[in-house]
Amino acid sequence: MKVLLVGASGIIGRGIDAELSQRHEIIRASRSSGDVNVDLIDIASIRAMFAKVGKVDAVVSATGKVHFGDFSEMDDDKYRIGINDKLMGQVNLVLVGRDHVADNASFTLTTGILSKDPIRYGSSASMVNGAIESFVRAAAIEMKPGLRINAVSPGVILEAMEGYAPYFRGHAPVPASRAALGYAKSVEGLQTGQVFEIF
């Protein structure tokens, strides 16, 4: 398969790359490195990416920014960061990509454990993750027959614990290589409308 991996240079992205490149051709997309550059908050940039890479069999997104901050200081603007980036960035990747992918292609988005298991400073991450999970369930049943969409919801990533540990006490870290299995299940399996939780 030809797999477009958005966020290829990130911690999870590199884990997915190591897993899927054993069996598939990977086209690596990132904001400023890889085979093709893309900024998911810019729809024109998404269109340019698909025009450049041609038809792919799978689109995998392992990217998306949200603002972490004390709830007492969260305001409309701070929630919009995650809405524009991790939520609508990934949604627009699907909305643009669905017209450019091969028959029977899959989309795999990234959410995370905070949708169900909230932490201090994480209200925007929770909101956005919950939105992605419900979007995936709904989009799956209305997509053009043959196309599939899933999300992967990993716990806190082991390789990111240096910065994240103080906020994720009690959370069992998940190695990126293990999170990558959720993406492989989505890309190489046949399920759709699922949220694969990886603990």
Sole binder of a second copy in the list 11, 48, 83, 160 (CB under 8 A): 83
Our finding on whether 27 is near a second copy (CB under 8 A) is: no
Our finding on whether 93 is near a second copy (CB under 8 A) is: no
Phi, psi of 109 (to 5 degrees): -105, 170
Sole binder of a second copy in the list 65, 137, 178, 185 (CB under 8 A): 137
Footprint (CB under 8 A) of a second copy, residues 55-74: 70-72, 74
Q: Closer to a second copy by CB, 7 or 112: give it.
A: 112
Sole binder of a second copy in the list 25, 52, 55, 95 (CB under 8 A): 95
Sole binder of a second copy in the list 33, 54, 104, 138 (CB under 8 A): 138
Binding residues for a second copy, total number by CB under 8 A: 43
Footprint (CB under 8 A) of a second copy, residues 141-160: 141-144
Order of strands, edge to edge, in the sheet holding 25-30? 36-37, 25-30, 2-6, 58-61, 106-110, 148-154, 195-198
Our finding on whether 16 is near a second copy (CB under 8 A) is: no
Sole binder of a second copy in the list 8, 53, 139, 184 (CB under 8 A): 139
Buried b or exposed e, range 42-72, using 16+ CB within 10 angstroms:
eeebbbebbeebeebbbbbbbbbbbbbbeee
Our finding on whether 75 is near a second copy (CB under 8 A) is: yes
CB of 152 to a second copy, least distance (A): 16
Sole binder of a second copy in the list 40, 93, 114, 184 (CB under 8 A): 114
Which of these, 90, 22, 18, 33, lies nearest to 59 by C-alpha position? 90
Give residues in contact with a second copy (CB under 8 A). 43, 70-72, 74-76, 79-80, 83, 87-88, 91-92, 95, 114-116, 118-123, 125-135, 137-144
